[in-house]
Structures are given as C-alpha cells and as structure tokens.
Amino acid sequence: MEDNNIKEDGNRKNNFIKNIITEDIENGKNNGKVITRFPPEPNGFLHIGHAKSICLNFGIAEEFKGKCNLRFDDTNPAKEDQKYIDSIISDVKWLGFDWGEKIYYASDYFDKLYEFAVELIKQGKAYVCSLTGEQMREYRGTLTEPGKESPDRSRPIDENLDLFERMKNGEFEDGTYVLRAKIDMASPNINMRDPVIYRIKKMSHPRTSDKWCIYPMYDFTHGISDALEGVTHSLCTLEFQDHRPLYDWFLDEITSPCHPQQIEFARMNLNYTVMSKRKLQKLVENNYVNGWDDPRLPTIAGIRRRGYTPEAIRNFCNIIGVSKKESRIDVGLLENCLRDDLNDNAPRAMAVLRPLRVTIENWEQDRLEELEAQNHPQKPEMGTRKIIFSKNLYIEQDDFMENAPKKFFRLAPGREVRLRYGYFITCKEVLKDKDGNIIELICTYDPATRGGDAPDGRKVKGTLHWVSSEGSIPATVNLYDRLFMAEDPEAESEDFTKNINPESLVRLEGCRVEKFLQDAEPEKAYQFERIGYFCADSQESSKEHLVFSRTVTLKDTWAKVNQIK
C-alpha cells in the first residue's frame, strides 16, 4: 500500500480523498457541505468490491458530518428488477449505514433529463442520429485515428427537436434513432466522440411503467443526477476516469444547479476470486454455485449467509484504504479481519464433524452428569452453559490413531487424554467392523479429574473436544473453502471456471453438535472449538434438520502470500 497515500490518524486512515475534502472545507467550497452518494445499478447483487465504495461514501459523509444518498441508477429497464433493489437496500443496511428517509432513483429525474436533452439540442450541441450501432462503431475511429462525423451531425435544430419528440412519443422502433451529444469526433478521448445520450427502448420501466419509450444513457444521467441532488463529491472507481471530461462537459453545457467534483479511486481486486458481474452470472447460471447467495461467492448476500460480520468487512475496508493505484489484495487479509472479530465475539460450542463413538466402560449406564462450560474463555460476562457427560460419547475420528507416532498427543491405545471441561480418559480397546474399520473405542475415565485436572498433578498433552450422545443432536455441516485454486483465476486459464476448487464445498452428514445449537440464530457465527467458525445456514437449516456452514477456519490453511501485490 502506498505510504504517501495513507497514514494513520488515530483509529482512522487519511487518504487523498479526505485530503481533497478537507481542503475544500477549509476554502469554503460548497459552503462547507459534504454530500456523497452510492449509486448502484439495480441489475445484480452487490459484492465485496461494492462494500468498499459503500464504506467510503457513507464513511466520508459521516466523518465530515454530511450526507450520503442511496440512489439507484435505473436507466435500463431491460436488466433491472425489484429483487435487486430489495437486495441492495438490505445489504447497505446490514453493513450498518443509513441514508435517511429518502431513497433516490435516476428515474425520478426522467422529466428533467429530457428537458436538459432538449436544451442541448436547442444549443446545437445534440443531434438525432440514424446510424446503426455497427456503423457508429465504424465511425468512432480508434485510439490512434480520429472518428468520422455522422451524416446527421449537421441536421437542423428544428428537425432534431421534432425527431426527438417523436422518439419520445413512440413513433419509431428500437434502434431507428439515437440522440447524440455533439462534441468532438477527433478527440483523443473516445468517450468524447459524440456519445449517445438517449436510445429508443420500448419497454415498461419498474417505476415509470409505460410513460417512457426512450431512456437516457448512464454517462448523461449520472452527473446530472448528482447535480440535482446537490452532491459535492462524486466518488467513482478508476474506470470512470476517462469519462470525467464527459461528466464535466454535460454539467458545463446545461443549466445545472451545481457542478459536483468527480474523484476516482482504485477498485478492490481480491485474489482467489472473481468480481466481474458477467463472470459471477456465469457461475450462477451454469450451476457452478447454488445461487447468488452461495457462501462461496463474494456477493454480500453470500458472505453474509456464510457468517461474515459487517464489523469485519468495515474493518477490512478501513485497513486496505483508498488509493489511485490498482492492486490485488490477499483474501487472507479479509479472512483475518473476520477471525479477529469472531475470536472476540463468537460464542463457543463443541461439535464433532466426523464422529467416532466412545464408550466409557466404568461409567454407569444411565448416569448423566452436567458439566459447566464457558461461552467464551476471555469473556466471563458471556456466561456459561451446561454440557452433559454420559457413558456414550463422540470424538473426532482424526483425534484417534491406533498406531500413533510418539508426537501424536491425542488418543491412542493405552494413552490418556483430557476431554474439554470433562475427565481424563484412557483407551482400553478398539472395536472394528468386518472390513477392519474402527467403529468404537472402549475407554475408562478417572473420576478424580472432573473439570479436566488431576489432583495428583499428572499432566496429559492432549485435550479433545467431544459431545455425548444425550447432550448432542445430529447436524449436516457444509465445509466451505475458497472457490478458486488460482490466485488470479482469470489470468491463469482462458476459461476461469477451470480453476474452480473441487473441494470448495464438502458436505458432511451425521455430524453431532451441542443441543443448544438447535436454537442457533441463522448467520450468527459460533466457534466450534478446535475446528473453526460456523453458523446456521439461513436457507437450509431448521430445527428439524440443522445445517451449519463453515464461516472461516481457525487459522489460514492456504500458502502465505503478500497481503497486497
């Protein structure tokens, strides 16, 4: 991360955007006001990259005692849907941000946008063009060659006004005409070569119904919407840098109520994932994942379902900061932010994912004993819970080895281990099925070691988690991991799907979890001791059939790489 761009400032980070706004306030620009906006298009689900923009725009407004508008840029009814609007509203709320009483929509300004387009026509700065899309691409030129002017560029103003009104009235079919700004076909910035600002699209709009059959383009709509809302600082990702001259041109040429300042910053790029909307859509539509909220996807809906917390995401966005330089960030940094949060705040529980039955032979058959377990070892204020010890227990299969090496400190024949919160036990006998698979261990316990310590001072090196048959219930567990095996899935193969991790989801049936987890709140993470962090799946889990999903492992199990390349 660039040291000249980000520096510590108490618990916050300064960056070049904050420095610009601070200077503007000191100079009395915008009367000291700060108004930002988060302007998603309602044509898909938000992902972790959008979280950076959300945190930046709402965070800036909060820090400078300003306001951030939530505005939907709903100018393309062909791709928009109410489900996306609802999802985006939910995601922004979940991240902990408040836009006030009003949600804004670009469609609120369709009448004003039409008036501004007419104003440009009257000034001789916009014209109706009949070139097809393919012809326009041919006329546009290249990065090294200027474009050619449309034969319609010199169309008289009155004729342009008449045609534009007839476009609005639905007299022409889609693709017959477009309205273009008249700027400069020889501009070195291709965006300035007479861009389209209106097109015919005979489709009903979710908010304006059938009132319009022409719709404004994003570049025309965006800056004007900012101005109509009194936005002072329009924060965009770097791909809009080449569009800034067009943003400014429109606002300079119309009777704009104000002229917001567009400032660009680098978008978030994470390794071991893809964030292109087109690629995410391919993963969903071709069933590589199970919907937009699949916990392996970087969508906010997905990571929320997986048990990520808004605090962890906000902290991550604060740590990576804001810069002008594109970089690739290690997803391990995001996972560590999550671990830090969950280590502090997640209640503890015991679960056995691959159960091995243990019978305590010197324990009475029907005897049940309650033991006290801490809900958090560093936070006594989180209280305790009761766990049941009985004759029949379960431990992890990996916690037993029949022919154990010397440095294997878990259970083995003749060895003694501590059961967390319980007793010392010693393995006496190993039972196998006809195929030689271990199916049960016969053990003894030491009654003097209740609570996990021996009064004679003897030590054991292994402490195991466990559950009893009477104190646990069955559950299914989804072990989620990174969706891709390659750091840059898009660079290492022509088809990024070839880098999908075949073990990104391992589903385990027949697991055992503590009984109190039957009432686990979906998306609330628990630490399954010695295993990882897990939450009840909001889509699959019920009291009749518990399904837990792994939020994150206790430690980074992937190769260490630089946090930012």
Residues 397 and 331 occupy one common structural domain = no
Residues 306 and 377 occupy one common structural domain = no
C-beta of residue 224 within 8 angstroms of C-beta of residue 119? no
- Domain limit, last residue, from 220, 245, 267: 267
C-beta of residue 490 within 8 angstroms of C-beta of residue 496? yes
DSSP classification of residue 375: S
- Domain limit, last residue, from 267, 301, 335: 267
Is the residue at 561 inside a domain? no
237-248 average pLDDT score:
96
Which pLDDT belongs to residue 462?
A: 94
Instruction: Quote the mean pLDDT of the chain.
Output: 94
Is the residue at 411 inside a domain? yes
Share of the chain above pLDDT 70, in %: 96
Residues 207 and 97 occupy one common structural domain = yes
Is the residue at 482 inside a domain? yes
CA-CA distance, 291 to 257, in Å (whole number)?
Answer: 43
438-453 average pLDDT score:
94
Residues 375 and 493 occupy one common structural domain = no
Residues 169 and 303 occupy one common structural domain = no
Q: Long-range contact list for 441-444, CB < 8 A, 24+ apart?
A: 441/356, 441/357, 441/358, 441/359, 441/395, 441/400, 441/411, 442/359, 442/361, 443/358, 443/359, 443/360, 443/361, 443/411, 444/360, 444/361, 444/362
Is the residue at 2 inside a domain? no
Residue 559 has pLDDT above 60, yes or no: no
C-beta of residue 264 within 8 angstroms of C-beta of residue 16? no
Residue 135 has pLDDT above 50, yes or no: yes
Residues 253 and 289 occupy one common structural domain = no
CATH number, position 307: 2.40.240.10
Residues 338 and 371 occupy one common structural domain = no
Side-chain-side CA neighbours of residue 306 (13 Å): 27
Residues 401 and 479 occupy one common structural domain = no
Q: Which strands, in side-by-side order, build the sheet including 525-528?
A: 348-349, 525-528, 532-536, 547-553, 472-480, 505-514, 351-352
- Domain limit, last residue, from 246, 267, 288: 267
Is the residue at 391 inside a domain? yes
Q: What is the span of the domain harbouring residue 12?
A: 7-267
Residue 565 has pLDDT above 70, yes or no: no
Residues 84 and 186 occupy one common structural domain = yes
Compute the Cα dihedral for 229, 233, 235, 236 and give only its sign: positive
Residues 293 and 154 occupy one common structural domain = no
Residue 172 has pLDDT above 80, yes or no: yes
Is the residue at 337 inside a domain? yes
Residues 510 and 430 occupy one common structural domain = no
How many structural domains is the chain composed of? 3
C-beta of residue 283 within 8 angstroms of C-beta of residue 297? yes
Residue 289 has pLDDT above 90, yes or no: yes
Q: Which residues are catalytic?
A: 41, 267, 277
Is the residue at 562 inside a domain? no
What 3 state SS string does 104-156 have? EEHHHHHHHHHHHHHHHHHCCCEEEECCCHHHHHHHHCCCCCCCCCCCCCCCC
Residue 492 has pLDDT above 70, yes or no: no
85-107 average pLDDT score:
96
Is the residue at 563 inside a domain? no
Residue 557 has pLDDT above 90, yes or no: no
Residues 27 and 132 occupy one common structural domain = yes
CATH number, position 160: 3.40.50.620
